[in-house]
Amino acid sequence: MLKRAIKLNMNEMPYLPPKAIIEAAQKGLLNLNRYSNSEDIEQLRVFLADYAEVSSEHVILGPGSDLLLRETIQTFAKGRKIVMVSPSFFPTVQTAKQFATKLISIRLSPPEFNLNLDFLMNELNEPCLVIIDNPNNPTGKILLDRHAVEEIIKNKNVLLLIDEAYYEYSGITFADMVEDRPNLAITRTMDKAFSLAGARVGYAIAGKVFLETFSSFYAFLPSFSLHAAIEALKNPEYMRRNIHRVIEEKKREMRALEKLDVQIFPSSTNFLLVKTMVPDAVRMLKDIGILVSDVSNQLSAGFLRISIGTREDNDTFIAGYKRILKDCD
């Protein structure tokens, strides 16, 4: 058993943010007895708008993009069919099941996990809320291109919400389309690429229809979160360096897994979807202190989602996998 658990199950950035960001968060804690300053909230909106290259009026802040996804589903599920892909980000799936009066899940089938756009378009014959994570979690697959987005939002009865939680890894975004497309919205997070999972800063880049509905939505983000996020956006180069480190580690881990008879699926994120023939691999890895995500409930037996960690953590995972593989012989 390892001295500490190796966490490769939450898709977090394995590297701390720079000292200046940690100090900014600490500064925010000095007024822990006070509510957040509205000027700081507006400043963060402006910084995020500049980062996303949109006007600040299109930016909605939230304590995590998952809450914004939940609020959107809860709001627009009334009188609208919800169309999603399966598998998808599990909390979003659970929220849709809770609030949807009618839910359509479009299956992404292995090994390609491609989205059948024709099937999706055939479902848009009534008012719909379409939710697609791009890249997809847990497959890591890019599902949409600009043509597909344009085809979907041509229908004025359709609202399209695209979750771009892993945008910094994929480099693919549709944020620039939002200002002219009122029925399009993008959700993003600073949890992943910016090393700020503990700060829980999410945001939406929203078209007019979404903005009108969320006009009274006000995010009381904690002061330490605001200060950390603003400092991070002042100098995002550290984020880009860490993205490069994660991508290089992902390539190295893929090469190691290929030698261990593991099926690996292409990923535009900071995690890998793999399929193993080792029965109960998630439990066996947990027993030796390595945490990975079991996604067999959305796919089938043997599918694991593995976050890319530090070089040391990734080496520990490979060694641990070799160990359980040997135990199964």
Q: Residue 79's pLDDT is what?
A: 87
Q: Residue 46's pLDDT is what?
A: 97
State whether the Cα torsion 118-165-52-309 is positive or negative.
Answer: negative
Q: Residue 1's pLDDT is what?
A: 59
Residues of the chain with pLDDT under 50: none
Q: Which of 91, 66, 96, 65 is nearest to 81 (CA)?
A: 96
Cα–Cα–Cα angle for 114, 122, 105, rounded to 5 degrees? 55
Write the DSSP symbol of residue 150.
Answer: H
Q: Residue 146's pLDDT is what?
A: 97
Backbone angles phi, psi at 275, to 5 degrees: -125, 125
User: Model confidence over 217-238: pLDDT tens digits?
Assistant: 777 899 999 999 999 999 999 9
d(C-alpha 268, C-alpha 136), whole Å: 9
For 210, the token pair is 């979404």
7-to-245, 275, 300 alpha-carbon distances in Å: 17, 19, 23
Task: Check if the beta carbon of residue 194 is closer than 8 Å to that of residue 239.
Answer: yes
Query: Model-level pTM?
Result: 0.96
Q: Residue 327's pLDDT is what?
A: 84
Q: Residue 292: beta bridge partners?
A: 8
- Largest Cα–Cα distance in the chain? 62
3-state DSSP of 262-292: CEEECCCCCEEEEECCCCCHHHHHHHCCEEE
Q: Residue 214's pLDDT is what?
A: 85
Amino acid type, 87: P
**What CATH number does the domain located at 19-234 have?**
3.40.640.10
Which residue spans of the chain are classified as CATH 3.90.1150.10?
6-15+238-328
In CATH terms, is domain 6-15+238-328 a member of 2.70.70.10?
Answer: no
Q: Which of 315, 271, 267 is nearest to 290 (CA)?
A: 315
Which residue spans of the chain are classified as CATH 3.40.640.10?
19-234
d(C-alpha 271, C-alpha 267), whole Å: 7
Provide the edge-to-edge strand list for the sheet that holds 6-8. 6-8, 290-294, 303-307, 271-275, 263-265
Question: How much is the CA Rg of the chain, to the nearest whole Å?
Answer: 20
| Mean per-residue pLDDT over the chain, rounded | 95
Report the residue count for the chain.
329
